[in-house]
Structure 1
């Protein structure tokens, strides 16, 4: 019986190496994020310290919602930070 041919294996070539991805944030992300956090916090603190008279006295407890909205906007901007 004839002997079957031996298959030659192709030499392994590793896939090309990728350069590491750049994980740099834009320069404005961190300052805007911190500013939104601080403004929201100061808005709420001012509302409580002044007895609901400031920052906008006519809207009452909606001042708390504005403060939390500013803080939430800071978290939205924080998603862009790397």
Structure 2
């Protein structure tokens, strides 16, 4: 959630209404979407606050890993990579 909202806001600030993906971007900058993102962040922070140090470390590791996967996905799309296992 969070990454898409942040990316959507950043792209919109730079390109505004001239972007060919305007409708897609607007979905991620929509106030309702932003509110949902904030609720999820709040829920995650509350869960982390009562989690054990071990669970907190695992939560952080999963967040970092998922963020790395998102980055790899977008880099692959940018480079127009072909995935051999998809036919």
> Which TM-score band (shorter chain)?
0.3 to 0.5
TM-score by length of 1: 0.35
Greater radius of gyration (CA): 1
**Higher helix fraction (1 or 2):** 2
Larger relative contact order (Cα-Cα within 8 Å, sequence gap ≥ 6)? 1
